[in-house]
Structures are given as structure tokens and as C-alpha cells.
Amino acid sequence: MLATLTEDRFSDPDWLYERKLDGERCLVFRTADGVRLLSRNQKELNNHYPELVEALAGQTNQDFVVDGEIVAFEGGRTSFSRLQGRMQVNDPDAARRTGVKVFLYVFDVLHLDGHDLTGLPLRRRKALLRSALEYGGPLRFTPHRIGNGVAYWEEACRRGWEGLIAKRAVGAYAHGRSKDWLKFKCATAQEFVIGGYTDPQGSRVGFGALLIGYYEKGELRYAGKVGTGYDRPMLERLSKQLAELEQDEPAFASGNLPRLRVHWVKPQLVGQVAFSEWTRDGQLRHPSFQGLREDKPPREVVRERAQ
């Protein structure tokens, strides 16, 4: 189930409000045969997060499907950039050696003890989820507040959080985007497709900036360049991936594309980018790269608009 972006901030006793976590979405399937962690686009994540697999395998209850977010922290804030240190490692031993501590915050339960719970009201699913698992270590229950959405959103922004998710308390679990879940964002960020890059200048290694865009009516629209947010290891690692995807012509269908010192790539990589706002001509202002996303197909990347 996916949330819809909104500019409306409201307080309503019929809605639950949760902290919006900046990490990797994950569905957990637990049966007598073992545990499977699956990303939003159904990639298995077990080797990336072995400590989560162990915590879930040790649960008394052996039959459940839960929904949650895998996160890493930088101080008191979830950090997608820090989580990159685990997302890019697909070996259990190497993942542990990174030193990046991760947590799974679960916020919904879809199946429990052979029963499909998706048609139950969220409030009831939350109560079942709280008692279905044993929490501690890397496994956490996602707390929520009832009502007072505006005050909680203001608190979230003061704390430097990404925002809140507002959820209709009587809503069922829908597979897809729904207005029963709404995003109250503090900072602006979303996924973009990488369609090219520029040559590095001066002492910069790898590349100078990424050329990014989003799909609209089946065409890749250019959204601008993002030249900040990279450390040296990321520049080196990402430049190798980009070199393997180079092609002669741009995948972008339109836009004021740069032409000097530019390399075009097949639109197969998706990155998360923070920015201050959209300009009138559809470009990003003050963009900063946060990391690659492997949990969303490029063709599903669209411009998020408040509804």
C-alpha cells in the first residue's frame, strides 16, 4: 500500500499519524519454512540484512506477513544516505562488517495465523500487530498518534524528520496507491530516473552531475542536473555503473538538455533526490543526491503532485 502526497495538513480523530521513515520499504513473509524479506519491487533482501532475518526467525509466531521500513540512523534522524552502505551489499558477512546498524520498523500486518487481515480496519490491524510479534533489538513497532495531526507534523518538522504518514483508522489495506494513506512532508524529496551524467571538473572523480527525469505519459521528462550529495566512494561506484549503461542518444523526450561534456545512459537506475522546490519550467531547485533506489522500477517514477 502506498501513500498519496498532499499539501493539506489536518487533525482528525478518525486518522492515525505515524512518523515518515526514510529507508527501504519491506514486506516480511514468515512461515514454518523460514523468513523472506522482499522489497517494493519483489527483490529478496535477506542477504542485505541478516540480523533482521535472525530476529524474525526467532519469533514465537511462525505464520505472518507484515509491512515495514528498514532504516539506518544518523543521530535521531533516519538517513537514506547511511542506509546505502547496506543496500549496496549483497553478502551477509560483508553486510555485517559495514558497521551500519539497521532496524525494521513494522507498521502493518496483512496475514496472521492463516487469516487474511487486509480487509480489517487499520485500527484493528495495529492492535493485532502489536501483540503478534516480540519487539526489541533491530525489530521495532512503529508508534502512532490519534488525532492532533497538525501539531504532530509541526513537531516532526522541528525535529528534522522527513514528515508524517496520515492513515484512515477504518481503512482496509489496499495493494497500490491510496488516499487512505497521505504523506505530510516536511522536506521535499522523491525518486528520479538517471538518464545521463556530465564529466567531472577539477579534482572531482567519477562524474560531475547526474541528469535526471521522471516519466509522464510514457515519456522521460528532463528535471535537471544534480551535482551535490556524493562522497568519493559513491562517485567511484556509481560512475562504473553508469559507464556500463552508456548509449549514443538521450532517453529524455524533451527539455533544455545540456550538450557539452555529457554522456547519455539507458534509463535503468533510480535515485532519490532532495530539493527545495520545482521551478516554473519543471526543473529542480537546489537538488541533492541521497542515494540509489533498487526498490522501484524506473517506469513507475513519476512527478509527485499534491492531491
pLDDT by residue (tens digit) across 197-218? 999 988 899 999 999 999 999 9
Residue 64 sits in the same domain as residue 152: no
Query: Which structural domain, as residue segments, surrounds residue 222?
Result: 188-300
Residue 166 sits in the same domain as residue 198: no
Give mean pLDDT, residues 64-76: 95
Specify the residue for cell string 524474525.
Answer: 56
CA angle 81, 225, 208 (to 5 degrees): 75
Question: Quick one: pLDDT at residue 98?
Answer: 94
Question: Quick one: pLDDT at residue 276?
Answer: 82
Give mean pLDDT, residues 176-184: 95
> Residue 305 falls within a domain, yes or no?
no
Residue 99 sits in the same domain as residue 200: no
Please count the CA atoms within 13 angstroms of the CA of 37 that sit on its side-chain side: 24
Number of domains into which the chain is organized: 3
% of the chain exceeding 70 in pLDDT = 99
Residue 156 sits in the same domain as residue 14: yes
9 contacts 150 by C-beta, under 8 angstroms: yes
Alpha-carbon span 36 to 280, nearest angstrom: 44
Residue 151 sits in the same domain as residue 112: no
Q: Is the pLDDT of residue 162 over 90?
A: no
Residue 182 sits in the same domain as residue 192: no
Sequence-distant (≥ 6) Cβ neighbours of residue 24 within 8 angstroms = 39, 45, 69, 70, 71, 83, 87, 295
Q: Is the pLDDT of residue 259 over 90?
A: no
Residue 80 sits in the same domain as residue 178: no
> Residue 260 falls within a domain, yes or no?
yes
Q: Looking at 131, 162, 186, which one is the last position of a domain?
A: 186
Residue 123 sits in the same domain as residue 68: yes
Q: Is the pLDDT of residue 7 over 90?
A: no
192 contacts 207 by C-beta, under 8 angstroms: no
Residue 130 sits in the same domain as residue 266: no
To 10 degrees, the CA torsion angle through 44, 48, 49, 53?
40
Q: Looking at 186, 201, 216, which one is the last position of a domain?
A: 186
Question: Quick one: pLDDT at residue 41?
Answer: 87
% of the chain exceeding 90 in pLDDT = 79
Q: Is the pLDDT of residue 255 over 80?
A: no
Question: Quick one: pLDDT at residue 287?
Answer: 93
86 contacts 39 by C-beta, under 8 angstroms: no
Residue 164's CATH number: 3.30.1490.70
184 contacts 165 by C-beta, under 8 angstroms: yes
Residue 195 sits in the same domain as residue 285: yes
The rounded Cα 167 to chain-centroid distance in angstroms is 18
Question: Quick one: pLDDT at residue 75?
Answer: 86
Residue 81's CATH number: 3.30.470.30
Element (H, E) at 233: helix 232-243
pLDDT by residue (tens digit) across 75-122? 888 998 899 999 989 999 999 999 999 999 999 999 999 999 999 999
> Residue 115 falls within a domain, yes or no?
yes
141 contacts 69 by C-beta, under 8 angstroms: no
> Residue 306 falls within a domain, yes or no?
no
Residue 223's CATH number: 2.40.50.140
> Residue 307 falls within a domain, yes or no?
no
Q: Is the pLDDT of residue 282 over 90?
A: no
Q: Is the pLDDT of residue 261 over 80?
A: yes
Q: Looking at 20, 126, 167, 225, which residue is catalytic?
A: 20
> Residue 122 falls within a domain, yes or no?
yes
Q: Is the pLDDT of residue 54 over 90?
A: yes
Sign of CA dihedral 67, 297, 20, 44: positive
Residue 289 sits in the same domain as residue 197: yes
Residue 54 sits in the same domain as residue 129: yes
The amino acid that residue 284 corresponds to is L
> Residue 208 falls within a domain, yes or no?
yes
> Residue 196 falls within a domain, yes or no?
yes
Judge whether 225 counts as a catalytic residue: no
Q: Which of 275, 93, 69 is nearest to 189 (CA)?
A: 275
